[in-house]
């Protein structure tokens, strides 16, 4: 059931009273760098917040390399750094009701060149006039973490009493492997539905994402003196030609993609990420290796996309009359396209967003990847929505609009209330 007028008033009063605290949490989290393998400090801070909230149940899930390597859906790299944990917090329902997961990630990408930022990347500086908070991770995804914590605050300490259980999955490795959300599910922390608060603005919800494939190709040429380079086969130059050849071939697939994916200029992408070629000063390189990252959308899956690239490489080999064919190997990230059937969640999100005065939300696909796939594979209806307006995730000068923080907490509180069911209001 939706929140009635009296309860809604109490929820809004609680949100107004607690927003300064939540804003301070966001600033504190942004000031703690948390790239891959360096998340311990931010996890410790969130643990302290959960303790202060008196969260009924908190679970620390260790990221053990050997344990993760045994999970078929886990992605490399498997870090051997110790004391790395994803967190699950639970507020059990008062009586039987549907359960709900709110997922957000604690890790961030690196800031890159700090001189490219107008403010230091971990300043957490607040522009009071524009009501925005600056810093790496402010939008992606520490605002999502604080929104989830705010909803938990409402349930544990505020007027919102749920019939069903509310879970928070606050995870590591969204920006690298997705293994944090996978670990939550594989250790038994399931629910009837999930929302991932990450990666979208207020008018977009994601119910589908593209497939991803990372691979390497090694070219073997023939050494020769640079003074008579025509007598050899320059592997680095062949690799450069292959890169342009593959980019053109993958790009052509955009001409025939389905209408659903044409909202993007190029859902099929082919990016050369790394090139390695070493040789003596007076010799053309006899070997070169490149690493590529390809995104693709249905009807292609991993098997079809891989075979297509292999066929293109074979065609290139014949065209160039290479005596040694290039060697392709899957080298890293590889996930299937994901389509989630979550009409009930889409209807719930639309209804509650409308009641909170949000603009219409368009569910649709994303060319990126997300932890959505793990909930879909576990049979849990899931949508990715929030944390709100922002700018430049993964680029310099990332920021988050602070006005969105209480709005999103209020929206997700209403979603939780309708999905999990309400018992009765409690004094705030």
- The band of 428, judged by pLDDT with boundaries at 50, 70 and 90, is very low
pLDDT tier for residue 6 given thresholds of 50, 70 and 90: confident
Q: What is the mean pLDDT of the chain?
A: 95
29 CB neighbour count, 10 Å cutoff: 26
Higher pLDDT, 82 or 20: 20
For β-strands 100-105 and 126-127, DSSP reports them as unpaired
pLDDT of 96 reads: 85
- Do 217 and 327 form a contact (C-beta atoms < 8 A)? yes
Map out the domains of the chain as residue ranges.
5-209+337-420, 211-335
The 3 state secondary structure assigned to the chain is CCCCHHHHHHHHHHHHHHHHHHHHHHHHHHCCCCCCCCCHHHHHHHHHHHHHHCCCEEEEEECCHHHHHCCCCCCCCCCCCCCCEEEEEEECCCCCCCCEEEEEECCCCCCCCHHHCCCCCCCCCEECCCCEEECCCHHHHHHHHHHHHHHHHHHHCCCCCECCCEEEEEECCCCCCCHHHHHHHHCCCCCCCEEECCCECCCEEEEEECEEEEEEEEEECECCEHHHHHHCECHHHHHHHHHHHHHHHHHHHHHHCCHHHCCCCCCCEEEEEEEECCCCCCECCCEEEEEEEEEECCCCCHHHHHHHHHHHHHHHHHHHCCCCCCEEEEEEEEECCEECCCHHHHHHHHHHHHHCCCCCCEEEEECCCCCHHHHHHCCCCEEEECECCEECCCCCCCEEECCHHHHHHHHHHHHHHHHHCECCCCCC
Q: What is the pLDDT of residue 331?
A: 84
Which top CATH class is 211-335? alpha beta
Confidence of residue 131 (pLDDT cuts 50, 70, 90): very high
Tell me the average pLDDT across 273-286.
94
For the segment 206-217, the average pLDDT, to the nearest whole number, is: 96
What's the rounded mean pLDDT across residues 142-171? 97
- What CATH class has 5-209+337-420? alpha beta
Q: What percent of the chain has pLDDT over 90?
A: 91
Record the tokens describing residue 113, joined without a space. Answer: 């060149």
**What confidence score (pLDDT) does residue 5 get?**
78
Q: Does residue 199 surpass a pLDDT of 50?
A: yes
What percentage of the chain has pLDDT greater than the value 70?
A: 98
pLDDT of residue 3: 72
Q: Spell out the residues 6+ positions from residue 321 whose beta carbon is closer than 8 angstroms to its own.
A: none
| pLDDT value for 94 | 83
List C-alpha distances in Å: 40 to 24, 197, 355: 20, 21, 39
Instruction: Check residue 2 and give its pLDDT.
Output: 56
Calpha distance 195→361 (Å, rounded): 15
Give the residue-averaged pLDDT of 10-36.
98
> What is the model's pLDDT at position 165?
97
- Residue 173 near residue 107 (C-beta atoms within 8 A): yes
pTM for this structure?
Answer: 0.93
pLDDT score at 1: 47
Q: What is the mean pLDDT of residues 73-79?
A: 95
């Amino acid at each position: 059931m939706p929140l009635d007028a009296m309860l809604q008033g109490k929820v809004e009063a609680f949100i107004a009273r607690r927003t300064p605290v939540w804003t301070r949490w966001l600033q504190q989290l942004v000031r703690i760098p948390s790239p891959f393998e360096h998340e311990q400090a931010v996890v410790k801070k969130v643990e302290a917040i959960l303790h202060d909230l008196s969260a009924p149940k908190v679970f620390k899930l260790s990221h053990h390399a050997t344990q993760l390597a045994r999970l078929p859906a886990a992605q490399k790299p498997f870090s051997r750094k110790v004391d790395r944990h994803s967190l699950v917090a639970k507020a059990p329902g008062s009586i039987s009701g549907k359960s709900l997961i709110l997922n957000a990630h604690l890790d961030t990408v690196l800031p890159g060149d700090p001189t490219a930022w107008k403010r230091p990347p971990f300043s957490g500086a607040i522009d009071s006039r524009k009501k925005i908070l600056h810093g790496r991770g402010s939008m992606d995804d520490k605002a999502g973490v604080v929104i989830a914590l705010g909803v938990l605050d409402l349930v544990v300490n505020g007027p919102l009493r749920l019939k069903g259980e509310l879970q928070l999955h606050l995870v590591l490795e969204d920006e690298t492997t997705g293994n944090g959300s996978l670990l939550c599910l594989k250790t038994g922390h399931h629910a009837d539905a999930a929302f991932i608060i990450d990666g979208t603005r207020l008018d977009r919800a994601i119910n589908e994402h593209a497939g991803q494939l990372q691979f390497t190709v090694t070219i073997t040429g023939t050494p020769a003196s640079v003074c008579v380079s025509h007598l050899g086969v320059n592997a680095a130059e062949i690799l450069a030609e292959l890169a342009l050849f593959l980019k053109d071939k993958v790009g052509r697939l955009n001409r025939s993609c389905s209408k659903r994916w044409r909202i993007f200029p190029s859902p099929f992408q082919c990016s050369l990420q790394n090139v390695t070629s070493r040789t003596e000063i007076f010799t053309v390189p006899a070997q070169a290796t490149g690493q590529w990252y390809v995104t693709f959308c249905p009807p292609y899956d991993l098997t079809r996309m891989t075979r297509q690239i292999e066929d293109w490489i074979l065609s290139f080999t014949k065209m160039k009359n290479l005596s040694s064919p290039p060697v392709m190997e899957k080298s890293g990230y590889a996930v299937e396209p994901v389509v989630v059937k979550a009409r009930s969640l889409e209807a719930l999100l639309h209804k509650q967003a409308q009641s909170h005065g949000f603009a219409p939300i368009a569910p649709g696909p994303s060319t990126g990847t997300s932890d959505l796939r793990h909930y879909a594979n576990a049979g849990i209806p899931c949508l990715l929505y929030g944390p709100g307006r922002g700018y430049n995730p993964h680029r310099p000068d990332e920021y988050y609009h602070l006005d969105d923080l209480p709005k999103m907490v209020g929206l997700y509180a209403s979603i939780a209330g309708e999905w999990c069911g309400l018992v009765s209001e409690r004094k705030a």
